[in-house]
Amino acid sequence: MTYMNKMMGALLGGAMMIGALALPASSQAADKSKIVIQVSDSDTAKWNLALNNAKNIQKDVGADNVVIEIVAFGPGVNMLKAESEVANRINDAIDTGVQVNACQNTMRNFKLNKEDMNAKVGYVPSGVVEIMQRQQQGYAYLRP
């Protein structure tokens, strides 16, 4: 066996070992349940229902076993304002690991900026596109 063949074999073997070591982490991430929740209503009852759903999902499957993203667009973005009736519940959900995102398209149309919003929420360029992409990534979809 030539020196080059030995080196190529060692490099290939090392690469295969690194790939094999990375598999458990990848499969662990794939084992998590994933759900995206749409809220497009500026209705306290709908928001409370969505937040209750998120809380119950975390309780039933374990907060460490699930990725939950709430996406608000249209009138639903109004409930993500800093002075919203559900601001405290939204903060609680975020503190437990729920991602809560506001649609920036809606914010532009409603002439809202980040200073108007709850300081803990995140932002996505388009709420509808975010939901579509999450579904393509295998997320379950819920609209309470």
Q: Which domains are delineated in the chain?
A: 1-31 (no CATH), 32-142 (3.40.1260.10)
pLDDT at residue number 83: 95
Residue with token string 């596109």: 129
- pLDDT-derived band at 22 (thresholds 50, 70, 90) equals very low
Check pLDDT > 70 for residue 30: no
What's the pLDDT band for 31 if we cut at 50, 70, 90? confident
0.85 surpassed by pTM: no
Residue 123, H or E segment: strand 122-124
Q: Does residue 16 surpass a pLDDT of 80?
A: no
- Measured between alpha carbons, how far is 111 from 118 in angstroms, rounded to an integer? 15
Amino acid letter, residue 101: N
Q: What's the whole-number mean pLDDT along residues 22-28?
A: 46
Q: Are 80 and 118 in contact (CB under 8 A)?
A: yes
DSSP 137: T
Asked if 77 and 106 touch (Cβ cutoff 8 Å), the reply is yes
Contacts of 83 (CB under 8 A, 6+ apart): none
Burial bucket for residue 34 (CB in 10 Å: 0-12, 13-18, 19+):
middle
Q: Check pLDDT > 50 for residue 23.
A: no
Q: What is the mean pLDDT of the chain?
A: 88
pLDDT of residue 90 exceeding 60, the answer is: yes
132: tokens are 């579509």
Q: Each residue of 63-78: b (16+ CB within 10 Å) or e?
A: eeebbbbbbbbbebbb
